[in-house]
Amino acid sequence: MRLLIVDSDERSNQTLIQLLKDAGHEPLLCGSVAEASAILQADHVGACVIDCQVPGFNWAALVREFRDRHPGQAVVLTHTFWSQADRQAAWEAGSNALLTKPYAIDDLLKQLS
């Protein structure tokens, strides 16, 4: 499955990308909202994994854009600390799952299936 990955942490991204490839997925890594939006407009992706801590990033707007373009597909949000307000905003935006970093790859793969 083609996966849109939005995360600016280059160090952890290399490991994540390799693990997703090993699991049979085709990850498309973006480090910015503009890059993610361009991919959403040009390509079909089966699911989206978004780090809510990307600087200068309105993740809720990106979740809504993904939902508009790919209804019914999984949206997984990640964060190192989920406040109650962030959790509420994530559910209202349309996410399927919230994962706290660091998370196990098996937990992510379970949410994507």
- In CATH terms, the fold of domain 2-112 is Rossmann fold (3.40.50)
Tokens representing 66 are 């993904």
Give the amino acid at 106. Answer: D
List C-alpha distances in Å: 5 to 22, 29, 36, 83, 84: 15, 5, 8, 22, 24
pLDDT digits 0-9 by tens, 28-80? 998 877 888 898 888 789 999 999 887 777 888 889 989 888 888 999 999 99
Residue 46's pLDDT is what?
A: 93
Q: What is the pTM of this model?
A: 0.91
Rounded Cα distance, 7 and 29, in Å: 7
> What local confidence, expressed as pLDDT, does residue 2 receive?
94
Residue extents of the structural domains in the chain: 2-112
